[in-house]
Amino acid sequence: MTIIGPHVSIAKGFLHAAEDAASMGANTFQYFTRNPRGGAVKKLDHKDLEACRSFMEDHEFGPILAHAPYTLNMASSKPETRDFAFRAFSEDLERMEQIPCSLYNFHPGSHTGSGAETGIGWITEILNRTLVPEMTTTVLLETMAGKGTEIGRSFEELAEIIEKTELSEKLGVCMDTCHIFSAGYDIENHLEEVLDDFDRLIGLDRLKAIHLNDSKMPFGDHKDRHEKLGEGLIGPETIARFVTEPRLAAVPLFLETPNDNDGYAAEIRRVRLIRKEAGID
């Protein structure tokens, strides 16, 4: 069964978010754990969480995906920025254990001039301080487009973070189609080889989520600009090939395209139809 859903707001609660997603034909959703540009966080409403859990069970939802705020930068050369990242990350992981969700995605961060190796060192230091054996959440490193000093522009960089994390079994990867296209991975002409590289360096068993997005920017441009599915420079044929790739069939799909609810509903129908015609869904 295809697990697919959009990014939605939890401003009105988790149950409302799940109902909103279901109204679009989705059976999962992504949400920000807090304001994407700030650090504020709402107190959890446990009645709402239980109602959301029941709704998800009744509607056969897959795992939902929590997304860390963009301001969380573990790789920064500024101690105060890393301190905020540590505090926000720690708090988010504590809250995740109370939410009907098992996946938490974050951008590895930008080294802001100190170099990728130093930035990776800062990232793994925080991961080693926060990940604990008893946690049930899987933390996902997101593949990045490589703008400026972003870390995660290559599978090698993500593999190094995983290798240097003591509880690496708690880590997975979220692959963003727009980001890897912008980073220079040729999913248009060499999708199988790209997945082979990922499997060799990281392991496809660690691929726990996919951000399914088209791109406004050209291949290898290292800029993160999402477009609606089939309307960008990745294009409908490559998107169709990606969602029908057998090795990716069981991975949940999350839409971050610039859409309203009707647009998301149309994309969800389109992906389901493509998979059905390919004998996957």
CATH number for position 180: 3.20.20.150
* pLDDT exceeds 80 at position 39: no
pLDDT in tens, 185-234: 999 999 999 999 999 999 999 999 999 999 999 999 999 999 999 999 99
224 counts as catalytic: yes
Which helix (DSSP H) or strand (DSSP E) does residue 96 occupy? helix 79-96
Q: Nearest to residue 257, comparing CAs of 223, 221, 216, 220?
A: 216
Task: Catalytic residue, from 31, 82, 111, 142: name it.
Answer: 142
* Domain range enclosing 233: 4-277
Residue 95 in 3-state DSSP? Answer: helix
Q: Report pTM.
A: 0.97
The pLDDT of residue 36 is 73
d(CA 104, CA 96): 8
Cα 41-42-48 angle, rounded to 5 deg: 140
Task: Give phi and psi for 85, each to the nearest 5.
Answer: -60, -45
Instruction: Answer for the pair 161, 141: CB distance below 8 angstroms, yes or no.
Output: yes
pLDDT tier for residue 38 given thresholds of 50, 70 and 90: low
Task: Catalytic residue, from 37, 46, 205, 262: name it.
Answer: 37
Number of domain units in the chain: 1
59 counts as catalytic: no
- Six-digit token string for 214: 């088209």
Task: Catalytic residue, from 92, 150, 176, 221: name it.
Answer: 176
